[in-house]
Structure 1
Amino acid sequence: MGYWGYFVVGRAERPLAELAALAGAEGMTLRASAPGGWQVWEYAGPDSEAGEVGNMNALAEGTGAPALFGYVMDSACVVVEAAAPQSGGWTTCLARAAMARYLGVGQEGLTLEDYFLEPGDAAGRAVAWAAEAGHTADAEALVDVLAADPDPLAENLFFRLLDRLGVVPL
């Protein structure tokens, strides 16, 4: 069984785990920090004792900076939710084939694109997100990550995405 849990990414003067937007996520652990106040926190789960991780829109609004959540599912795929005060929110996934299997797409006529932005569209939104964060991101390099298969863990793709966004270098 692989890893299940959240990675919460944001920029703030104080620890993200102390912010009201993440109040329900008790027991978060700092995983990484980077220049400019960027932080990556881990919130392992799921279990019946775990609370809600919070809302990335509220986190972005509360910090005045872009925020990003990555929900890793069994180390096979990742739901990526992002928000920024000016450019808004968007959702995509990493390891698309595995995500399609988890969601059972195709069984009821739905496609993965009914749930998530496709890699090209997500890359465009990610470039705007990175720009709002004060970074320059290359759309083509983002598409490569957004369309990739896990190597071997989906959380590796998530950290590669953060690197391509210029937020937390590998």
Structure 2
Amino acid sequence: MAFYGTYVLARSAALLPHVSGMRSAFGSRCMLIGRHQEGWQLAGLKTPMHHEWPAIHGGPVPLAEATGAPALAVWVSESSCLQYAAATPDGRSWTAHFADEAEADADVEGLIARGAQLPEGRCGYDHHEFCTLRLPEGVDVPPDDQAALGGNLLEWAAAAGLDTTAERILDALGTTTDETAVYALVAALGLEPLLPVEPLFDVNERDWRDAYRRGEDESTRVCREWTSRGEQLPDYDQPLPGADEFVKFLDLVAASRFGGGFTRAQLQAEAQRLGGRLPQAMTRAPHGLRPRHRRLMAVLVAGGRACLRCSSGDQLG
């Protein structure tokens, strides 16, 4: 299955999900953490939860500031497009783009066929709204330049104290535009994998599944309100009293998966407490989206299929 999400490479004594700036930049759906020598970690995150999209900002810049070490992030669109962004603690940063042209063109054609209005440009993926490494409004996707990307990565590696060469980096980049390029790059930087950090539990455990699904319903509602561009939503799309507690439950589960939050027993108790807070009428079709809203989201996203997939209830795996 094609992947949408972010890979983050940074050095930190604390686990990356617990570092300031991670959630605001990349969301909190961290699925894996690979440890490497000298404190380096590679975190893989799925697309942010629906309610997190409006606040996503900063990229690797705040992470480099928080850790005091260079940070690198790669946004992957449907395993066909890679957007790189890097930052150093002294304020230097850059961004680069590398896509499979054939796949990107095919994606454009598919989206146009569904009536989406795409901006001009070769890449059919969204780099301005439903993307964790957002480009500023009015700034176009930079042209693909693998040599320049390799040079930037070499300078970043030097700032990070990693021993590599331009040849090794370019060999790792190759022509690959899916997530395997990230792992090849990490290896080219001389980072060897150690034991991975396993999550303590899945996000949608049976112990709290009902509360979590209700939270997802409200989370999606927040995203729909954000993409409505200020238009009045119909009454059945308005949040019910107390709905924000279920959204907070999603955040609590995410913050606890790698320790530092609630235990399984505490999450189960919180889910039971929330169980009677909202009427059963709140439960809707998958994630509260009706067919008409799925079509509407397809137009609003206009190429950002990460959220299109999420809004239709198809969480990325």
Q: What's the TM-score bracket when you normalise by the shorter of the two chains?
A: 0.7 to 0.9
- The alpha-carbon deviation at position 17 of structure 1 amounts to 1.0
**Structure (1 or 2) with the greater strand fraction:** 1
Partner of residue 159 from structure 1, selected from 180, 183, 192: 183
Are residues 103 and 57 of structure 1, via their aligned partners in 2, closer, same or farther at CA, if it must alter by over 3 Å? Answer: farther
Are residues 29 and 73 of structure 1, via their aligned partners in 2, closer, same or farther at CA, if it must alter by over 3 Å? Answer: same
Aligned equivalents of 1:87, 1:121: Cα separation in 2: 20
Deviation string 1:14-71 (CA, Å, 9 cap, x unpaired) is 1111122113322323331101111111221266244437520111111111101111
- Aligned with 1:166: secondary structure? coil
Identity of aligned residues (%): 29
What root-mean-square deviation, in Å, do the aligned CA atoms of Structure 1 and Structure 2 show? 3.0
1:89 matched to 2:93: yes
1:11-160 correspondence runs (5 A): 11-24=11-24, 25-45=27-47, 48-51=50-53, 52=56, 54-86=58-90, 88-97=92-101, 101=105, 108=120, 115-116=142-143, 118-150=145-177, 154-160=178-184
Aligned equivalents of 1:69, 1:77: Cα separation in 2: 13
Are residues 43 and 18 of structure 1, via their aligned partners in 2, closer, same or farther at CA, if it must alter by over 3 Å? Answer: same
Aligned equivalents of 1:169, 1:54: Cα separation in 2: 27
- Counterpart of 2:8 in structure 1 is 8
- Counterpart of 2:213 in structure 1 is none
Assess if the C-alpha contact under 8 Å between 1:4 and 1:46 holds in 2: no
* Aligned residue identity for 2:157: A
Q: Structure 1 stretches of 5 or more lacking a match?
A: none
Q: TM-score scaled to structure 1, two decimals?
A: 0.79
- Aligned with 1:91: secondary structure? strand
- The alpha-carbon deviation at position 114 of structure 1 amounts to 5.6
Deviation string 1:111-156 (CA, Å, 9 cap, x unpaired) is 7896156111111111111111111221122223334135xxx100
Are residues 149 and 13 of structure 1, via their aligned partners in 2, closer, same or farther at CA, if it must alter by over 3 Å? Answer: closer
Aligned equivalents of 2:33, 2:102: Cα separation in 1: 25
Aligned length: 164
- Aligned with 1:148: secondary structure? coil
Assess if the C-alpha contact under 8 Å between 2:72 and 2:86 holds in 1: yes
* Aligned residue identity for 1:144: D
Assess if the C-alpha contact under 8 Å between 1:5 and 1:72 holds in 2: yes
Higher CA-based Rg? 2
Are residues 103 and 6 of structure 1, via their aligned partners in 2, closer, same or farther at CA, if it must alter by over 3 Å? Answer: farther
* Aligned residue identity for 1:139: A
Q: TM-score scaled to structure 2, two decimals?
A: 0.45
Assess if the C-alpha contact under 8 Å between 2:29 and 2:48 holds in 1: no
